[in-house]
Each structure stands twice: as C-alpha cells, then as structure tokens.
Structure 1
Amino acid sequence: MSQNPQTPEQGAGPFTERRYYIDIAHSKQSATALMHDIQCNIERYSPGLLAEFHKEKGEKQGLHVGDEYHIKILGPWNGSVRVTEVAKQHFELLTLEGHPEAGHIRFSLRQLPNQSDVLRFEIHSKARARDGLVAFAYGTLGVGKQVQEQTWVTFCQRVAEESGGQTLGSVQVDTTEHDGAEKRKEHHERS
C-alpha cells in the first residue's frame, strides 16, 4: 500500500536546499547513457552501509514514475520515496510519510555550457525536517547530517568512477537554509 507524500509544508525547521556535485572531464559515456545506468542501478551507486535502496513498488528493472523505494539509512533514519519524474538526464524522488525529511531530491547529469567535454553530476535536495525532533537531532546535534552528506558524496564519486572520465576536483557541497526572512549559505569540498 502506498504512503502519502510528505511535502516541505508539512515539515518543521528551516527549509534547506543542498547541492552535491562533481564535474567530470572526458567521460567514456554520454550523459544520457550514464544517467540510464544510474536509473537502472540506483542501489549500486548508493553506499549500502549508509543508505540501502530497496524497490517496494514498480517494475523490477529501470526507474519509472510511481516506483517506490524504501531506504534503510544508518541510524534511526529509514524512510521511503516515490519517483515523480524520469527523463533522459534527470530523475526526481519525493519523500513519503515517515521519511526523516519532507521534500524532494533531483539527480541530474548534464554537459556544462561551453565545455563540450565536461559533465556535471548533481544531487539537489529541497526539504525540511519531518518534525521538530528530527529538526533538532539533525540541525542542532548534527545526527544524521554526516550520514546524509557522506551518502551523497559517495554517490557522486561512484558516478564519476563509472563514467570512466577524470574528476575535476572534489565533490562540492552547497547548503542554503531559508528560515523566514533569513538566508544562510555554506560551501565546502569533500574528497
């Protein structure tokens, strides 16, 4: 039985945007071919010890709108997501009831403008904590934040490895918190 979506409006704490991205030169695969592999094998790109994807609803092969995954996340952070968009160079997941976050996350792969031999793989999430307890544990105590960041940094690194190309620097991590009228930005690299 499908769960209801968990939107940012239902969440607690600041609305947070996070971008994890890596640039890849001279990929041996096109953006479309590499994204197709990611969509067909999402569990292979995610570090199983940190976040293990299990398809609960949908066809066994591929990624389709309406598919649902249960994600077993290190610690008390398990949750489910639903696929809401699938295209040649991106896909998007929406959190479902019970997930530690309320929002969505987009995975995309594209050629950088004016750089015909450079691809950018990006994971872009827009979410709030599910409730006040998760907001406190995640934001104030930092519990879960490191696991989430390491999961998506590793995912980016695995995409770069699979491309057969050369990485141009480390995985970049940008965080922007919108808390009412205030806006706070943070940027760092992860190797």
Structure 2
Amino acid sequence: MAEASTGAHDGLLDGLLSAAEGTGPLLQRDYWAIIERCGCSPSELMELVASRFAEFAPEELVVFEREEERNSPLEPGDELRVRIRGAGTFRVRIIHRDRQSLTLATLSGHPEAGRITFGAYRNEQGDIIFHIRSRARSGSRVKYLGFRTGGEAMQTNTWTDFVNAVALTVGEGVIGFIHAETSVMGEAHESADDVQGPTFLARGD
C-alpha cells in the first residue's frame, strides 16, 4: 500500500458522529494479545486485516459489508455497513490507514459516537501484538442505557473474537489470554485527542 494516508481529503470527515456529540463518559477500550508463532510482520498482518476485515468479525454478533463491492484493501474514504445483532444496521467510514494501523469512525445514527483503531506492532521482545483500541461515547441517551444493559458484553465478545480470529489466521492463536480493558478518558486527555487520527500509534515492524 501507499505510505501513510492521513490527510483529511474532501468529504472524509463529513457526517461523522464524533465522541463529542455522544452521551455519557468517553471510554477507551483496549483489546489486545500476543500472537503465538506469527507468520508475518505487523505491516503484513495489517494488510491482511485491511483486505479481509469482514471475515474476522463474529457473524453471530456483527456483520460488516462494504458499501462498494471491491476486492482491494480498505482505504480512507471507504464505508462499511455494520449489522449489529439486536440493534440494526449502521455505517462506519475508514478515516485513517498507514502500514501498521486502520481506523474506523462512526457515522450519524450509529449506537456509538467515536472511532476505533486496529493495529499491529512488536513488543520489546520482538513478539507481535494485535491491538484494538476504541474511544467512544454512546450515540444518544437511549443508546447509552441500552448499552449498559447488554451492549457492553456483546462489544467485548465481538472484539476479543476478532483478535482471536486474526491470531489464528496469521499464527497459532494467542499467548496466554486476550486482554480486555476499559478506562474513562479524563478531560485533559480528551481535549488533547486527535479525533481525525488513530486512537494509538502502532510502531515497530
């Protein structure tokens, strides 16, 4: 792929449902694991994720479909329909991609307001980590209440299953277990957040 696609080209940010427009606390959710015997580099892993994104989601919980039928990897400006069990069908847009990460943002009507980054990198020992980090609020007060009554567990299952599916595709699964952590973003962190960029920087190929 071409080197980092970070520019906010015409229309890329139009219609996004930013976290600032949501309801409730701004939550950062992290799901990550070390991949056992990974057979590719982090950048190769992310090329695979960008090319076969929909295949890694647990279809009993969520289904992703491209708005335009193409076989090429996802790139900024591409949109996906998201059918969430029990919630309906919504849309997200890719707003950033570089060699080691891919970032999606929610569009108007989505039950969450914010963005999510998928990235791969090496730790100090050279192990390859696949990491998903979202920063979002609920899209509305009604959706916030609904999320607290069942949506949170479903979201955790969705993204831990995604991590596991990637790990089994490029390696022999995960080492140990899949980490799932949630933290509330403080006001200082929120004001410094780049809402047009990834939620974390994946470095170390």
Offset at residue 77 of structure 1 (A):
4.6
Q: Counterpart amino acid of 1:21?
A: W
Structure having the higher strand fraction is 1
Tell whether the 8 Å contact from 2:121 to 2:129 is kept in structure 1 after alignment. Answer: yes
Q: Counterpart amino acid of 2:129?
A: R
Q: Could you say which residue in structure 2 is the equivalent of 1:132?
A: 141
Q: How far apart, in 2, do the equivalents of 1:94 and 1:85 lie?
A: 9
- 1:96-111 maps to which residues of 2 (within 5 A)? 96-111=107-122
TM-score (norm. length: structure 1) = 0.86
TM-score (norm. length: structure 2) = 0.80
In structure 2, do the counterparts of structure 1 residues 166 and 178 end up closer, same or farther at CA, with 3 Å as the change threshold?
closer
* Equivalent in 153, 176, 180 of residue 173 of structure 1: 180
**Residue 155 (structure 1) aligned with residue 165 (structure 2):** no
How many pairs were matched up? Answer: 176
DSSP-derived class of the 1:169 partner? strand
Q: Could you say which residue in structure 1 is the equivalent of 2:38?
A: 27
Q: Counterpart amino acid of 1:137?
A: G
Offset at residue 180 of structure 1 (A):
6.6
Q: How far apart, in 1, do the equivalents of 2:20 and 2:178 lie?
A: 30
* Equivalent in 44, 55, 59 of residue 48 of structure 1: 59
Q: Counterpart amino acid of 2:40?
A: Q
Q: Counterpart amino acid of 2:62?
A: A
Deviations along 1:114-155, whole A, 9 cap, x unmatched? 212x1110110000000000111112x2x2112111110100
Q: Percent of aligned positions with the same letter in both sequences? A: 28
In structure 2, do the counterparts of structure 1 residues 84 and 58 end up closer, same or farther at CA, with 3 Å as the change threshold?
farther
Q: Could you say which residue in structure 1 is the equivalent of 2:85?
A: 74
Q: How far apart, in 2, do the equivalents of 1:160 and 1:103 lie?
A: 26
Q: Give structure 1 regions of 4+ aligned residues with deviation exceeding 6 angstroms.
A: none
* Equivalent in 109, 115, 129 of residue 125 of structure 2: 115
Q: Could you say which residue in structure 2 is the equivalent of 1:15?
A: 26
Alpha-carbon RMSD: 1.9
* Equivalent in 74, 79, 92 of residue 63 of structure 1: 74
Offset at residue 26 of structure 1 (A):
2.7
